[in-house]
Structure 1
Amino acid sequence: MSLSPAFLDELRARTSLSTLIGRTVKVQKAGREYKACCPFHNEKTPSFTINDEKGFYHCFGCGAHGDAIRWMTDQRGLPFMEAVKELAQAAGMEVPAPDPRAAKRAEQAKGLHDVMAAAQGFFEEQLGGIEGAEARAYLQKRGISAATAKAFGFGFSPDGRGRLKAALNVFGEPLLIEAGLLIDPDGAEPDGGRKRDSYDRFRGRLMLPIRDIRGRVIAFGGRILGAGEPKYLNSPDTPLFDKGRTLYNIDRASPASRQAGRVVVVEGYMDVIALAQAGFEEAVAPLGTALTEHQIERLWKMADVPILCFDGDSAGQKAAIRAATRALPLLRPGMSLAFATLPAGQDPDDLIRAQGPQAMESVLAAAEPLVERLWKYEQGAAPLDTPEQKAALKQRLSAITDAIAHPDVRAHYVHAFRERYDALFFARAAFQPRHQRGGSGARSGWQRDRRGNWKPPLPPAGSEARAIGASGMEQRLLRAVLASLLRHPEQIALHREMLAGLRIADPVLAELLNAMIAASFSKETVETDGLLTILGQGEVYNMAKGMLRADTFTFTPHRSKADSDRVRRDLDEAIRVMAQGPELEAALAEATRRATDDLNEDSFAEQQRVRRLKLDHDRRLAELAQSEDII
């Protein structure tokens, strides 16, 4: 469903942001604004400000920033449309009606929600009755307190084929089947003869409700109490429940993750419950399947680097690698995964019982970054005794980096794996300056011609990406980068991967950069005078000489002995920001096209996300181009 900018602006204007935030956070008047201790990170001195006039909040401590809708999605954990509906109701506004098909689906979902709520009430009632004695004994044996059992909504399904069916017969058999509570043995069309009766899906099991982000029951998980298979049984996929898009305990973990600053992913229901009872309320679990792309994206809405905490056995570690591999195409700046490993043979409950919550905290604190977990796994996947085995490791690492879609993230993974590989097999190389190590031009598309000279790659066929340097800010920053490289030519090889991927609009500037890159391939040590000699006489040479004059603009001006680390950091950021410009423009154009064609919430949200990234990029580009370090 698409909402017009005018409607959203009116909604923000009618919402008192200080009143909205003041419902859950203590706010104080401070002149024309309000202040409070930030709810997104722990602090004792207020650095969180609320401006009703401009309609935004901002934390000077952690950088949290947004409007009323952002507050509802980030702090409350609501989906975009749910946030809009709640704010609109409070403001006395009507949300534009969806199309008739969407309205029909919403009405059907309402009926299913009523069915699931009634089923939850039935299961809870049975747990407290005579037949629930065995289930209550199991909870006691597992050390689950009455408060925890109530918070998570434990229930019990009696061991009979029609107990739930009879209790909820007012809803009708078709709705109970659609909700996944009854099994229809004949399906939609019986195979001739008399139609067989439907029967309860869950029988003789300890029941756990699975809730959506708003806390509504959408499915159930049932654990068998005696002998039998499967040990755990989940509801099938229904109009309310898609197990690949849902995380167990997300309704409680979402707000808790904002207080804790993290979200922890464990293997199953009981792991989540054991952690919550020990004070780790920010835990979730997938629902009997490997972690999916949709679940990873949902986790990133709660924390930039979710911690995956799996068992130390072979199955647990394979599950961790499957999740890591699935995340690779989704990685983007700031968004990754970390991996914590439990002691062999122990789950979270075992560890907490034996050593207390602090032991669990230590496991989480020792979580490894994704890049380290992938390196260790591939390093240990096969022997590394022969040249062929070493080459196979390099090939496996290349397959990992090739799966990463974001160019900046991919470049950093290439560099990280190369450093680890060289340190493992070429000890001397690990202690040489990086610009003196061997490098492959083919990695960035450069090839030698018949005379042995390095030549840049041709643009990809059909490429429509805008070249860099079209705007004044880009042109100024590009010249500053090239001037810095001329003054510090040892930096060319360090940034070669990213430099080789730049498309430059100005042909003279492009030729100058290509000459620098080619020189860095051909020579172990590149010097400024050597570069000028290679350029010879002509327009490119004159431009380079002009850039080296004392009055031209460059990073770290007039510093013949500038700090090399600072120069590297400055160039890293400047080159990355330049490269992102055309990519973000193309991504925004595609997201806008999809939002216009699809007219749904997800497409609109993606368009807004890319637009924010583009605005942030343009702001940073202007800051860099106008920096006092560029003269």
Structure 2
Amino acid sequence: MALSPQWLDELRARITLSSVIQRTTKLQRAGGEWKACCPFHNEKTPSFTVSDQKGFYHCFGCGAHGDAIRWMTDQRGLSFMDAVKELAAEAGMEVPAPDPRAARAAEQRAGLHDVMQAAQDWFVANLRGADGAKARDYLETRGFDAHTLERFGFGYAPDNRNALKQALSQFEERMLIEGGLRIDVEGRDPYDRFRDRLMLPIQDTRGRVIGFGGRILDKTKTDAPKYLNSPDTPLFDKGRTLFNLHRAAQPARQSGRIVVVEGYMDVIALAAAGIGEAVAPMGTALTERQLELLWRVTDKPVLCFDGDAAGQRAAMRAITRALPLLQPGRTLQFLQLPPGLDPDDLIRRDGKQAMERLLSEPQGLLDTLWRQERDASPLNSPEEKAGLKARLMDHVDSIAHPDIAALYRRELLDRFSAFAFPPRERKPFQPRQGGGTFPKGKGNRWGQLTIGQLSPENAARLKRAASGGSRDLLTQAVLAGLLRHPGEIPRHAEALLALAPTDAKLAQEIEQLIDWAEELEANGGNPISAPGNLAPPPDNTRFSFLMEGSDPQAARDDLAEAVSLLVERPALEAAIAAATARFETDPEGAFEEQQALRKRKLAFESRLGQMARKRASFVAQKDDPPSPDTADWGEQEAG
């Protein structure tokens, strides 16, 4: 079905938005517009406005925004096409006809909806009858009240291979098979899929039955799955469906959260306890489509997993799926339950308040990723620690949004450096001739100290080292940046020391930095007036952290990024060289590795380029045109 932008614009023009919204939300006139308490979140003072002239609604409290079609999909839970059809009927417009194949598919789906609803009615009737006694006994042990049983549509499938076929004899068996209710195996007669099971309907966003989940009741049947879902059908797609989404969407918008649990019974236990914004996948890992469904409801869904190993694996699978899809403001949160407990167990043991406490303090995606990878395997050797860093950077490389990827890279590298290079034991300062310690801990006043506090001879020596002793621009800039921002020396010293073995000259310069830092500490922390800050060489002024007037926090952040680039570069160059050397013995493997490294190198160059653009932007704000080489310095450096 082809809906042109022009046709949709005509539909919106013919609809009075306020009249559509007023069917479910009370509006008050406010000048030329309307206002109300927002239907998408709880509030006492109206911040929700509707403009018929502009054709959209907007909430200044939660940010909900859209036109008449968006209102029908978000507030009413309709699909896009169902919303369009309903509005078109109201506006007296004819929806463009679908092609014949699409029309036949729609007719087929309509017939299957009738089949599924008839099956649901039959399952519910069975639960109330004599055959449903065992299922009713089980439900009583779960403590669900009558309202919960009716709300979720519990039913029972009798232990009979052909009971459903006989009960739904008004439908062709072909439709029962197509709806996943019967199984057709070549060489055997078809038979009912669900037998002797407690039944739950699975519904779409409009509340229509599209599939079923059945829980086994006979514990002696160890060869049968505990839960059995409908197969994929023209109505039901496991990867595009979330159990209970049609009920959870509205309370989720009001509370600002949606909770993802592992199974149907967890959803129902939470709903029975008064937490109605819970959903569950169909017994599989969350898919990209299911994540998109969650993000349509709220920007930060809370994923709740058991505290066992299986729960941790499920959390990592969700993280891996989510990273390429992250957008500004759109992420995931994680909640880990106590070991051995699911939501139902926790509520039974400690009450709803215990679950609410956990939900009020979820862990962010980045924190969860770091913790999971850090704890995934022993980290007792340099090789194992290098493996941790490689895994973290692989995750970063999967993030499509460049700004989010850069922020994740910086944060994870900072955490890795702090973990892999813990602070050394602090010893009293003693003047040394090569050797010594680097002071750390409380009491440092690095942010107040400058090169002016060093002896004139050592100050001149360090200026020469920073401006000309290194062989490339990035190293010069990092050394000069640490001189300009001495408060950052403790943060980056260990990372720089790891570079020392790669270059004797650089090792000497790092030692000079450490000497200078120790002399500053030996001064007793009492700042003295400085004759002047270090003036970096002209080429270095392209770095924001070496420019007068830069925002201090932004300068420190950029300096940290420069340090991480300096540390990362030797490993990247060595890996590229190793991959190139392997071409003769393993061309296919070497090619694949080289492609991955090329991607890393492009990301490296991109980060250098971003720092250049920051400098250019800063200069533009000062009404000082950037130098001619600002735009391409990243390429020069990477090359």
Q: What TM-score do the two structures reach when normalised by structure 1? A: 0.70
Q: Deviations over 1:413-457 (max 9, x none)?
A: 111111111222334599889xx9xxxxxxxxxxxxxx943599x
| Higher-Rg member (1/2) | 2
The aligned counterpart of 2:155 is 155
- How far off is 1:344 after superposition? 1.1
Structure 1 387/171 Cα, relative in aligned 2: closer, same or farther at 3 Å? Answer: same
The aligned counterpart of 2:303 is 308
Q: Are the aligned partners of 1:75 and 1:258 in contact in 2 as well (CA < 8 Å)?
A: no
Q: Which structure is richer in relative contact order (CA contacts within 8 A, separation 6 or more)?
A: 1
The aligned counterpart of 1:453 is 472
Q: What TM-score do the two structures reach when normalised by structure 2? A: 0.69
Q: What secondary structure is seen at the aligned counterpart in 2 of 1:255?
A: helix
The aligned counterpart of 1:197 is 189
Q: Are the aligned partners of 1:148 and 1:277 in contact in 2 as well (CA < 8 Å)?
A: yes
Distance 1:370 1:9 in 2: 39
Distance 1:364 1:426 in 2: 34
Q: CA RMSD in A?
A: 3.6
Distance 2:96 2:17 in 1: 22
Q: What secondary structure is seen at the aligned counterpart in 1 of 2:49?
A: strand
- How far off is 1:529 after superposition? 4.9
Aligned residues: 479
Give the aligned residue type for 2:396: T
Q: Are the aligned partners of 2:301 and 2:332 in contact in 1 as well (CA < 8 Å)?
A: yes
Distance 1:42 1:216 in 2: 28
Q: What secondary structure is seen at the aligned counterpart in 2 of 1:323?
A: helix
The aligned counterpart of 2:38 is 38
Structure 1 198/534 Cα, relative in aligned 2: closer, same or farther at 3 Å? Answer: closer
Structure 1 107/59 Cα, relative in aligned 2: closer, same or farther at 3 Å? Answer: same
Give the aligned residue type for 2:195: R
Q: What is the aligned counterpart of 2:536 among 530, 538, 541?
A: 530
Distance 1:139 1:90 in 2: 44
The aligned counterpart of 1:334 is 329
Q: Deviations over 1:259-303 (max 9, x none)?
A: 121111101000000001111111111111111122112111111
Give the aligned residue type for 2:10: E
Distance 2:168 2:539 in 1: 88
- How far off is 1:28 after superposition? 0.6
Distance 1:184 1:125 in 2: 26
Distance 1:569 1:76 in 2: 45
The aligned counterpart of 1:185 is 185
Structure 1 276/409 Cα, relative in aligned 2: closer, same or farther at 3 Å? Answer: same
- How far off is 1:47 after superposition? 1.4
1:274 aligns with 2:269: yes
The aligned counterpart of 1:292 is 287
- How far off is 1:534 after superposition? 6.3
Give the aligned residue type for 1:532: P
Q: Deviations over 1:566-605 (max 9, x none)?
A: 7789999xxxxxxxxxxxxxxxxxxxxxxxxxxxxxxxxx
- How far off is 1:22 after superposition? 1.5
Q: Deviations over 1:361-393 (max 9, x none)?
A: 111122111111111111111222222222221
Q: Deviations over 1:29-65 (max 9, x none)?
A: 1111111111222221111111112211122223322
Q: What secondary structure is seen at the aligned counterpart in 1 of 2:198?
A: strand
Distance 2:385 2:113 in 1: 56
Distance 2:474 2:347 in 1: 60
Q: Deviations over 1:119-152 (max 9, x none)?
A: 0111111111111111111111101111011111
- How far off is 1:306 after superposition? 1.0
Q: Are the aligned partners of 1:256 and 1:281 in contact in 2 as well (CA < 8 Å)?
A: yes
Structure 1 567/48 Cα, relative in aligned 2: closer, same or farther at 3 Å? Answer: farther
Q: What secondary structure is seen at the aligned counterpart in 2 of 1:340?
A: strand
Q: What secondary structure is seen at the aligned counterpart in 2 of 1:298?
A: helix
Q: Are the aligned partners of 1:15 and 1:87 in contact in 2 as well (CA < 8 Å)?
A: yes
Distance 2:394 2:548 in 1: 41
1:383 aligns with 2:378: yes
Q: Are the aligned partners of 2:159 and 2:195 in contact in 1 as well (CA < 8 Å)?
A: yes
Distance 1:202 1:425 in 2: 54
Q: What secondary structure is seen at the aligned counterpart in 2 of 1:388?
A: helix
Q: Percent identity?
A: 60
1:53 aligns with 2:36: no
The aligned counterpart of 1:225 is 217
- How far off is 1:76 after superposition? 2.6
Give the aligned residue type for 2:158: P
Distance 1:268 1:131 in 2: 26
1:20 aligns with 2:20: yes
Gaps of 5+ in 2: 424-437, 451-469, 476-480, 489-509, 517-532, 561-616, 624-639
Q: Are the aligned partners of 1:220 and 1:235 in contact in 2 as well (CA < 8 Å)?
A: yes
Distance 2:557 2:274 in 1: 41
The aligned counterpart of 1:247 is 242
Q: Deviations over 1:315-367 (max 9, x none)?
A: 11111111112222222222211110111111111111111111101111221
The aligned counterpart of 1:74 is 74
Give the aligned residue type for 1:306: P
Structure 1 423/406 Cα, relative in aligned 2: closer, same or farther at 3 Å? Answer: same
Distance 1:111 1:361 in 2: 43
Distance 1:300 1:340 in 2: 17
Q: What secondary structure is seen at the aligned counterpart in 1 of 2:238?
A: coil
Q: Are the aligned partners of 2:40 and 2:250 in contact in 1 as well (CA < 8 Å)?
A: no
